[in-house]
Amino acid sequence: MNKKTTLIVFYSCVALVCVAILCIVNLFIVPRMKAKSLESQAFMNTGQEKQETWFPIEKDLAATNQAGQEVKLSDLRGKVWVVAEFFAVCPHCAVRNGAELRAIYDEFKQHPDFQMVCISVDPVTDDVEKLNSYSEALSADVSNWWFLNAGDEEKTHAYLENTMKFFGIRERTDPADVEANGRFQHDMGLILVDREFNVIGKWPLSDARSEEGRKLNPGLYESLKEEMFDRISKELSKGED
């Protein structure tokens, strides 16, 4: 075998090895990386509820509830409350989060120190009439489940993102996307606040319950739900000592 033939054979082998490596990467490594990326996006902050305290709520929020009453979040000091973002025409809020919110409400609504709060990310559209219709659809009693319009859209978004630490709210611009999914993309996580006005946990139950979430981690939804219910019970029991 002359030198030229030897080089051809050598580089052919190198090429074959490279092709084989690329095939392995595309078939096995890339899909796993994508799956891991999706999992981290869907379940970001999943484990953080195990911390005893996350952070205090340093600013108050004044708003109008579904009964037209002027209220403030600071009115809830001394209570244990769950807060979520929503807007009345969002096709996902009712389908994905409505069942979760209703299950939590049914479990704890008899406790005098428990409260649910849903804050609209679309205060321009969600007037008192829409808030009331939405609350009636979920059989919410205004005494312990508020649906709130905090007025100015920009200030509401800033409060939810900077003070409550919900993920950023994005306004959709594509007409087809708006028609199918509503004007805003927003955080579907459920935040728990203790009696001292501290955010102490966040649970992405709707993401964990989704088809994609079940595929990534089949047992995560049940585990998160149990943890959240246990933490709510623990916080409520502190007032009974």
Q: Which residue in 92, 91, 165, 81 sits closest to 118, CA to CA?
A: 81
Give me 63's structure tokens.
């708003």
pTM of the model: 0.76
- Residue 17 is predicted with a pLDDT of 45
CATH 3.30.2290.10 correct for 46-238:
no
Nearest to 111 by CA among 184, 20, 195, 18: 195
Print pLDDT tens along the chain (241 aa): 555 555 444 445 544 544 444 444 444 443 343 333 333 444 444 333 444 568 999 999 999 999 999 999 999 999 999 999 988 776 655 656 788 899 999 999 999 999 999 999 999 999 999 999 989 989 999 999 999 999 999 999 999 999 999 999 988 888 887 777 777 878 989 999 999 999 999 999 888 888 888 888 999 999 999 999 999 999 999 977 6
Which pLDDT score, from 0 to 100, does residue 9 have? 47
CA 140/CA 105 separation, integer angstroms: 8
Return the pLDDT at 91: 61
Cβ-contact 88, 125 below 8 angstroms: yes
Name the residue ranges covered by the structural domains of the chain. Answer: 46-238
Distance between CA atoms of residues 212 and 96, nearest Å = 13
